[in-house]
């Protein structure tokens, strides 16, 4: 069936922070939506919503834990889509992937330990290090103009440095949309294993792979890599289910799994809801066709922006989108301070992006554009962008 990717449900007044940020701007009209926080402006797959309605009609919404059908749907999804045979007892549920790497930091490192990040990177990773009194070990990625690469010399030196205990790996990488190849992950794992560095692999975007690319789950690189890592996944980005608050965390090594669970127990809030388990099961069982059409839509939106920029603003460099629905654009050629770029975008062009600076200093002057929305809103945004910045246009 063809899904409805033309109509949206405005989210003013229901607690959506990114929609509320637009409130009060008199220039915001019906063709303006936010392109910031990474959830979709697309209607949830009817297979999920109708399934949840049926579930609510026929079940008591009491306390719940995971169940066999839910766990089997997760196992089946990982096997079919990522080629990884996971065991049921490896799976631990958390409210979110962010919860998982906060817990991992506390479970597997001590105060003052060094934790590596490839930067610019998803901003809660910095927070997990900061609030838990660990030490940020920044390994800046190399921007080659169209993509980002690992600086292997700096990474090896950082991993070997005294006190470095963990790498939080964003795979695929957010915000630059980079997929780490199997060869890169193999090299990375060899360095980490040689220096006893634990890997927390955030693979929440692993299902959102653009045509022509392939994601490799870090745990499939080698048995040794699998034994010293956790893999963080979720249906939330894939199926726009962030509000369900359920992530699927895999810890194959029993010793680390028990350490994680012991730390998780200190928070006393790790039980997920009965609806979150069912939403995940429905998504992984019935959501493939919907996801395929979403990926086509993202690809279309990406190409529309790419063609537009090439024609009118070729000086705005766009990082190749290999995965995620988040396009990373370099506006530094406009020579605007980051705060001024943000102000003009919001107050003049009604463009509400995630500002590059929130991903670290290397992100200053960049914008992260959420593409998971009807194409007509992308086109309207491009029209506003042109009118606002036409003095920089080449034609």
pLDDT in 10s for each residue of the chain, 395 residues? 999 999 999 999 999 999 999 998 999 999 999 999 999 999 999 999 999 999 999 999 999 889 999 999 999 999 999 999 999 999 999 999 999 999 999 999 999 999 999 999 999 999 999 999 999 999 999 999 899 999 999 999 999 999 999 999 999 999 999 999 999 999 999 999 999 999 999 999 999 999 999 999 999 999 999 999 999 999 999 999 999 999 999 999 999 999 999 999 998 767 799 999 999 999 999 999 999 999 999 999 999 999 999 999 999 999 999 999 999 999 999 999 999 999 999 999 999 999 999 999 999 999 999 999 999 999 999 999 999 999 999 86
Cis peptide before 172, with omega less than 30 degrees from 0? yes
**Both structure tokens of 345:** 């975008």
Q: Which of 166, 213, 158, 156 is nearest to 190 (CA)?
A: 156
Beta carbons of 235 and 221 less than 8 angstroms apart: no
Q: Which of 213, 388, 175 is nearest to 299 (CA)?
A: 213
Q: Which residues lie across from 367 on neighbouring strands?
A: 329, 355
Alpha-carbon distance of 104 to 84, in angstroms, equals: 22
Cis peptide before 120, with omega less than 30 degrees from 0? yes
**Buried residues in 231-253 as b, exposed as e (16+ CB within 10 A):** bbbbbbbbbbbbebbbbbbbbbb
Q: Which of 166, 160, 161, 157 is nearest to 198 (CA)?
A: 166
What single-letter DSSP state applies at residue 170?
Answer: E
**Both structure tokens of 68:** 């066999």
What is the per-residue pLDDT across 216-256, written as a single tens digit (0 to 9) for each?
999 999 999 999 999 999 999 999 999 999 999 999 999 99
pLDDT at 56: 98
- Work out whether strand 135-140 and strand 114-119 pair parallel, antiparallel, or are unpaired: parallel
Q: Which of 231, 324, 246 is nearest to 283 (CA)?
A: 246
State which H helix or E strand residue 186 sits in.
Answer: helix 182-194
**Both structure tokens of 335:** 């020579």
- Burial tier of 287 (Cβ tally within 10 Å: 0-12, 13-18, 19+): buried
CA atoms within 13 A on the CB side of 129: 21
CA 130 to chain CA centroid, nearest Å:
20
Region at 268 (left for phi over 0; alpha for psi -120 to 50; beta for the rest): left
CB-based contacts of 25, cutoff 8 Å, min separation 6: 346, 347, 350
Beta carbons of 232 and 200 less than 8 angstroms apart: yes
**Both structure tokens of 215:** 């994601």
**Both structure tokens of 146:** 């169209």
Alpha-carbon distance of 301 to 207, in angstroms, equals: 18
SS3 389: helix
Beta carbons of 366 and 285 less than 8 angstroms apart: no
Alpha-carbon distance of 115 to 121, in angstroms, equals: 13
**Both structure tokens of 17:** 């922070």
CB-based contacts of 332, cutoff 8 Å, min separation 6: 364, 365, 366
Residues written for the chain: 395
- Work out whether strand 91-94 and strand 317-318 pair parallel, antiparallel, or are unpaired: unpaired
State which H helix or E strand residue 232 sits in.
Answer: strand 229-233
């Amino acid at each position: 069936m063809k899904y409805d990717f033309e109509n949206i449900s405005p989210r003013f007044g229901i607690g959506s922070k990114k929609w509320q940020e637009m409130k009060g701007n008199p220039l915001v009209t019906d063709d303006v939506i936010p392109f910031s926080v990474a959830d979709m402006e697309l209607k949830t797959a009817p297979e999920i919503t109708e399934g949840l309605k049926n579930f609510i009609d026929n079940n008591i919404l009491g306390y719940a834990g995971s169940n066999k059908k839910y766990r089997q749907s997760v196992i089946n999804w990982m096997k079919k889509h990522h080629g990884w045979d996971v065991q049921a007892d490896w799976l631990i549920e958390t409210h979110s992937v962010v919860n998982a790497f906060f817990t991992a930091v506390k479970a597997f490192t001590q105060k003052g330990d060094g934790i590596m990040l490839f930067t610019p990177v998803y901003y809660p990773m910095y927070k997990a290090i900061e609030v838990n009194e660990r030490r940020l070990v920044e390994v800046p990625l190399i921007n080659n103009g169209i993509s980002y690469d690992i600086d292997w010399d700096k990474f090896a030196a950082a991993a070997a440095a005294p006190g470095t205990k963990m790498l939080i790996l964003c795979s695929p990488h957010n915000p630059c949309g980079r997929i780490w190849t199997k060869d890169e992950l193999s090299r990375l794992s060899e360095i980490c294993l040689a220096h006893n560095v634990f890997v927390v692999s955030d693979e929440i975007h692993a299902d959102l792979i653009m045509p022509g690319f392939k994601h490799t789950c870090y745990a499939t690189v080698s048995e040794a890599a699998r034994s010293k890592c956790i893999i963080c996944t979720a249906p939330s980005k894939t199926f726009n289910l962030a509000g369900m608050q359920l992530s699927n965390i895999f810890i194959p090594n029993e010793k680390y799994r028990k350490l994680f669970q012991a730390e998780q127990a200190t928070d006393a809030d790790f039980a997920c809801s009965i609806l979150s388990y069912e939403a995940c099961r429905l998504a992984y069982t019935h959501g493939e066709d919907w996801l395929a059409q979403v990926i086509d839509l993202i690809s279309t939106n990406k190409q529309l922006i790419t063609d537009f920029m090439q024609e009118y603003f070729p000086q705005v460099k766009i990082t190749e989108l290999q995965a995620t629905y988040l396009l990373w654009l370099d506006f530094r050629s406009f020579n605007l301070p980051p705060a001024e770029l943000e102000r003009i975008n919001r107050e003049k062009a009604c463009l509400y992006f995630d500002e590059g600076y929130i991903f670290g200093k290397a992100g200053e002057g960049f914008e992260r554009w959420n593409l998971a929305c009807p194409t007509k809103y992308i086109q309207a945004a491009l029209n506003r962008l042109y009118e606002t910045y036409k003095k920089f246009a080449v034609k």
